[in-house]
Amino acid sequence: MADTWARAAADAIHLTPTQAVLYLSGGASQAIGWLLSVPGASGTVLEALVPYSRNSMVQLLGKVPSQFCSLRTAEELALLAYNRALKLSRPGYPVLGVGFTGSLATTHPKLGEHRMHMSTRSSNRHWVSTITLSKGLRTREQEEILSGHLLLKAIAKACKVPGTFVSDLTQSDLVEECETLFTEDEELEQLIKGDVCFKVYPFLSETFTSDAERKIILSGSFNPLHDGHIKLLEAATSMCSDGYPCFELSAVNADKPPLSVSQIKDRVEQFEKVGKSVIISNQPYFYKKAELFPGSAFVIGADTAVRLIDPKYYDGDYKKMLEILIQIKNRGCTFLVSGRDIDGVFKVRKLSDLYKVYIPLVSFGQLILMLLLFLQHHYL
């Protein structure tokens, strides 16, 4: 009966648009099996990891936690999973990060408590739960099944799946849970602080296929957004028929103080009025943007393209410039480069003073080729 409920719950979760990443350690792994055992799993589960060993957990967290099985660690796993889900998800889809740590029954008696900690994280909601189980009441297999059911219930709740679930918890089991809802201002403050990598405002008025995973991104300050921005992105979209067009505004500037929450909201309002999607990130550099949006096509002006391959912006280090550009390429990103209107005259800037190359539109591969030609000429 319980497995029947679990598969039905998994099926209901898959009917929602939510896409999730799960990081589980010490139990609840059957929740992954139930989610993957019914059709539609690929639309929900973006990634599922079980960092079971000490080294695996340390590498995932980037540090040694004060306690491996703790509520704090479950929360950190959920936040990592949420940020990972943002990077892997299809544009405009709600995402969920799930974290679990457990210390369940083993083959020998345990000195400590049998407990589990769960956390789910979405854009505006953070939920946590700690459950202490009665020792000696269940076998390891029974505790494993119970933890999987409880985690699946938490995922269903985060996906707003209706229904009831009667768990096998008893009065001797202790349950503590807490839910926090974030305002939009709090979400943006978390982004500026760096806790969350970006936030999507899916205002897009046109309809795009649900499998359009590739993003076509026009980055800028948009102070203000104008018709030229919109036309440029539309032109780029016409050349990349398989992409999802969106604007991107970095709340963090390399040379200026970060934008305030009110400034971000004012600029976001511009996109809502014209029905265009915008992403608010906290990365001003393209190589960092490539980490956030792998496989994307970035739309840039010719003046930006010149800076992109100018060693001056890489501390004068040609090798560093090449390494960073190759990193961007290896992440599957490309650049679409357009001319610029300068003093009322449409001009296309040259990429190199050594090669008179003028580009109304070039690909990333051509940029790399021009860069290599420049280096060869420079050193020979």
Q: What is the mean pLDDT of residues 254-261?
A: 90
Highest mean pLDDT (candidates 165-179, 237-251, 259-273): 259-273
Are 195 and 324 in a shared domain?
Answer: yes
Helix H, strand E, coil C: the string for 215-248 is: EEEEECCCCCCCHHHHHHHHHHHHHCCCEEEEEE
* pLDDT at position 106: 84
Helix axis angle for 364-379 and 318-330, nearest 10°, is 160
Do 275 and 347 have their domain in common?
yes
Q: How many domains does the chain have?
A: 2
User: Are residues 138 and 162 both part of a single domain?
Assistant: yes
Kindly report the CATH number assigned to the domain that includes residue 221: 3.40.50
In contact, 254 and 289? CB cutoff 8 Å = no
Q: Are residues 63 and 129 in the same domain?
A: yes
Is 36 in the same domain as 128? yes
pLDDT tens-digit readout, 23-71: 999 999 999 999 999 999 999 999 999 999 999 999 999 999 999 999 9
> Does a cis peptide bond (omega within 30 degrees of 0) precede residue 224?
yes
206 and 151 in a common domain: no
Q: What is the pLDDT at residue 40?
A: 92
Rounded CA-CA distance 351/303 in Å is: 9
Report which DSSP code applies to 28: -
Determine the residue type at 59: Q
Do 160 and 227 fall within a single domain?
no
pLDDT for position 310: 79
Which of 132, 242, 247 is CA-nearest to residue 201? Answer: 247
Q: How confident is the model at residue 146 (pLDDT cuts 50, 70, 90)?
A: very high
Residues 213 and 329 in one domain: yes
CATH of the domain at 36: 3.90.950.20
More confident residue, 124 or 212: 124
Helical packing angle, 261-274 and 184-193, nearest 10°: 120
pLDDT in tens, 308-317: 877 888 888 8
What average pLDDT does the segment 113-130 reach?
Answer: 97
Same domain, 140 and 263: no
pLDDT at residue 298 in the model: 92
The highest-confidence range among 203-217, 232-246, 262-276, 294-308, by mean pLDDT, is: 262-276
Distance CA 278, CA 233 (A): 12
pTM for the complete prediction? 0.88
My answer on whether 173 and 196 are in the same domain is: no
**Domain finish residue from 181, 201, 232:** 181
* pLDDT tier, 117 (very low <50, low <70, confident <90, very high otherwise): very high
235 contacts 206 by C-beta, under 8 angstroms: no
What's the confidence (pLDDT) of residue 372? 47
Strand 174-181: give its sheet, edge to edge. Answer: 45-49, 19-25, 95-103, 114-121, 125-133, 174-181
Q: Which of 148, 164, 181 is the last residue of a domain?
A: 181
Q: What is the pLDDT of residue 335?
A: 86
- The residue with tokens 């049998």 is 114
* 198 and 340, same domain (yes or no): yes
For residue 137, the one-letter residue type is L
- Percentage of residues in the chain having pLDDT higher than 70: 86
Q: pLDDT digit string (tens) for 170-229?
A: 999 999 999 999 999 999 999 999 999 999 998 876 655 445 668 999 999 999 999 999
**What is the reported pLDDT for 358?**
31
Q: Rounded distance, CA 220 to CA 229, Å?
A: 9
H/E segment holding residue 177: strand 174-181
The mean pLDDT value for 88-93 works out to 86
Residues forming a β-bridge with 346: 341
What is residue 267's predicted lDDT score, i.e. its pLDDT? 98
Using DSSP's 3-state secondary structure scheme, residue 121 falls into strand
Please, which pLDDT band fits residue 303 given cuts at 50, 70 and 90? confident
Nearest Cα residue to 301 out of 336, 342, 326, 277: 336
- pLDDT band for position 342 (cuts 50, 70, 90): low
- Please report, rounded to a whole number, the percentage of residues in the chain having pLDDT higher than 90: 65
Residue after which a domain boundary falls, among 155, 181, 207: 181
Which residue range is the domain that position 120 belongs to? 2-181
- Separation of alpha carbons 10 and 6, rounded Å: 6
User: 271: Cβ–Cβ under 8 A, 6 or more apart, which residues?
Assistant: 201, 203, 222, 225, 247, 277, 278
Does 301 lie in the same domain as 163?
no
pLDDT tens track for 164-183: 777 889 999 999 999 999 99
* Nearest-angstrom CA–CA distance, 272 and 156: 30
Tokens 């102070």, residue located? 223
